[in-house]
């Protein structure tokens, strides 16, 4: 298919979805008349920032159609946007689904929909079809842009519709989105993943890597800024390989430099960087671009060269440590965080010691530690030397203790300093305080009120409480 055909195709899809929004509006009005009240929705998101952004797209359509937000699952349209990166994510969904179906028995207007990564697994869809037949709609990660059309189907009848695609080459732009926060937003720069790390299910459920055109990304960022957004998080499974397969290739560093030029945008973040594709030019761009936050989330997964190879990660412990050194040389105040998996098949105490060694050397500001979860269909699931549970638990606890010790030490270094904090919300425990974040992503609470949300203040960090600071405006 030629480039023009794909573009035309995406444009006609966009128009079709807007037509369906109009149809949905009419149907929602009719249902409201027979219910004698407004119809409500509840969107529950599991998983990562990608899913959070997808949920904003779903909410955008539901609100356009006339639904109003409900506080709980006692609603007329409930949708779970699922994650399947680890097995326990799946179990959570089944547990909640049983409860939902009981609620549906009491509400004839209720519709239940499931979408997201877990729905891309055929065994999951089979299980829902046989054991949870009251579900109305199942769709996947590739056709989320069709949600308006799928919603119309749900409003017209109470039968299950399953619409799952294996992959797509289409990126449909400019559909409605309702942001969760007024002042910050995620922006997808790419979809899918080509890396096939041997433990990971994401490439199977999110499809092949596709980058958005820089002009579409920049236009979206500019629109967000015009609408009051001051912080943008650029999203991709591996942002460092952004733009490689565009008709006119662009690097992630070049994209960052262009986004840094957008007037009014104060903070730029991004997730996730794969160490194998992290270029010197990206480090330079981070150091040069005033609005790019000094924070790098750089998943390590393991410190053992042997395991890194079995994981298909394409870097060694030394290469990883070299990147950290370069980052700290170029950006001295940078915060470095990571993801680590404990208990990958065949992990020995020596392998684990290598991981601990990296953790001790890097002194991460924070680390997300995961117990290895066997995902059917991935190469690691076929490895027969799974590590016993008690051994994993013991290693996990030892790792966590060091991670927490480092994080506390790092945090204390900033006590007494005056630094810019972007206010995000009223403090959940004490409404005389506001909560916000430093450029390096650390949390700070200080006296303030709702009028401060979305603005940046110079705050003196008075006291470090382990994972957050207490401060006061200078």
Residue 293 annotated as binding? no
For residues 320 and 358, the answer to whether their CB atoms sit within 8 Å is yes
Relative to beta strand 137-139, strand 111-116 is parallel
Kindly identify the residues of this chain, within the stretch 217-246, that bind ligand SF4 according to CB under 6 A.
237-238
Q: Is 274 an interacting residue with respect to ligand SF4 (CB under 6 A)?
A: yes
Identify whether the C-beta of residue 265 lies closer than 8 Å to the C-beta of residue 227. Answer: no
- The residues near 202 (Cβ < 8 Å, ≥ 6 apart) are 85, 117, 193, 237
Residue 203 interaction partner, one of ligand SAH, ligand F3S, ligand SF4, none, beta carbon < 5-8 Å per kind: ligand SF4
Interaction between residue 195 and ligand SF4 (CB under 6 A): yes
Q: Which is nearer to ligand F3S, 200 or 217 (CB)?
A: 200
Q: Give the residue with the Cβ less far from ligand SAH, 85 or 283.
A: 85
Can you state the angle between helices 3-35 and 147-156, rounded to 10 degrees?
A: 30
User: Among residues 190 and 362, whose Cβ is nearest to ligand F3S?
Assistant: 190
Q: Is 77 in the site for ligand SAH (CB under 6 A)?
A: no
User: Rounded to the nearest 5 degrees, what angle is found at the Cα of 353, between the Cα atoms of 347 and 356?
Assistant: 115
- Contact partner, 268, from ligand SAH, ligand F3S, ligand SF4, none, Cβ < 5-8 Å per class: none
Instruction: Judge contact between 54 and 77, C-beta under 8 A.
Output: no
Q: Which of 28, 47, 145, 365 binds ligand F3S (CB under 6 A)?
A: 47
Whichever of 167 and 333 has its CB closer to ligand SAH, that residue is: 167
User: How distant is the alpha carbon of residue 324 from its chain centre?
Assistant: 23
The contact mask relative to ligand F3S for 173-202 (x = CB under 6 A, - = no) is: -----------------------------x
The piece of 32-40, 102-110, 253-261, 372-380 that touches ligand SAH (CB under 6 A) is: 372-380
Radius of gyration of the chain (CA): 23
Whether the CB-CB separation of 375 and 87 falls below 8 Å is answered with yes
Give the integer Cα–Cα distance in Å for 305 and 343.
15
The helix/strand/coil state of 303 is coil
At closest approach, how far in Å is the CB of 414 from ligand SF4? 30
Q: Which of 85, 93, 229, 411 binds ligand SAH (CB under 6 A)?
A: 85
Binding interface with ligand SF4 (CB under 6 A): 193, 195-197, 200, 202-203, 237-238, 274
């Amino acid at each position: 298919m030629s480039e023009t055909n794909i573009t035309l195709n995406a444009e006609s899809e966009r128009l079709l979805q807007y037509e369906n929004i109009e149809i949905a509006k009419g149907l929602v009005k009719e249902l409201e008349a027979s219910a004698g009240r407004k119809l409500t929705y509840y969107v529950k998101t599991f998983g990562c920032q990608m899913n959070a952004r997808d949920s904003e797209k779903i909410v955008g359509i539901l609100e356009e159609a006339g639904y109003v937000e409900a506080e709980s699952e006692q609603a007329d349209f409930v949708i779970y946007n699922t994650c399947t990166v680890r097995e326990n994510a799946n179990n959570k969904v089944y547990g909640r689904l049983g409860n939902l179906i009981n609620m549906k028995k009491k509400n004839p207007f209720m519709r239940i929909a499931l979408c997201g990564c877990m729905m891309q697994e055929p065994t999951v869809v089979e299980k829902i079809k046989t054991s949870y037949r009251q579900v109305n709609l199942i769709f996947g990660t590739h056709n989320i842009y069709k949600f308006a059309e799928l919603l119309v189907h749900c409003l017209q009848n109470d039968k299950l519709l399953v619409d799952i695609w294996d992959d797509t080459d289409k990126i449909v732009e400019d559909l409605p989105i309702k942001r969760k926060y007024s002042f910050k937003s995620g922006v997808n720069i790419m979809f899918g993943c080509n890396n096939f790390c041997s433990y990971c299910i994401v490439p199977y459920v999110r499809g092949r890597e596709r980058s958005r055109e820089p002009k579409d990304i920049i236009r979206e960022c500019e629109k967000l800024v015009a609408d009051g957004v001051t912080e943008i998080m650029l999203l991709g499974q591996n942002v460092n390989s952004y733009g490689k397969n565009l008709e006119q290739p662009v690097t992630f560093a070049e994209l960052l430099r262009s986004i840094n030029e957008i007037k009014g945008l104060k903070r730029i973040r991004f997730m996730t960087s794969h160490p194998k594709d992290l270029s010197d030019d990206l480090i330079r761009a981070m150091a040069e671009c005033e609005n790019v936050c000094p924070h790098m989330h750089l998943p390590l997964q393991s410190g053992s060269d042997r395991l890194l190879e079995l994981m298909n990660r394409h870097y060694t412990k030394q290469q990883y440590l070299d990147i950290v050194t370069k980052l700290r040389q170029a950006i001295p105040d940078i915060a470095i965080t990571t993801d680590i998996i404990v208990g990958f098949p065949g992990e020995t105490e020596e392998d684990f010691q290598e991981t601990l060694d990296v953790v001790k050397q890097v002194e991460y500001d924070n680390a997300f530690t995961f117990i290895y979860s066997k995902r059917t269909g991935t190469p690691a699931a076929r490895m027969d030397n799974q590590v016993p549970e008690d051994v994993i638990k013991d290693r996990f606890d030892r790792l966590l203790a060091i991670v927490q010790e480092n994080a506390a030490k790092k945090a204390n270094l900033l006590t007494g300093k005056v630094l810019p904090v972007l206010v995000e919300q009223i403090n959940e425990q004490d409404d005389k305080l506001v909560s916000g974040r430093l450029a390096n992503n650390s949390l700070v609470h200080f006296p303030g009120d709702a009028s401060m949300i979305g603005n940046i203040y110079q705050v003196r960090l008075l006291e470090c409480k382990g994972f957050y600071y207490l401060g006061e405006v200078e």
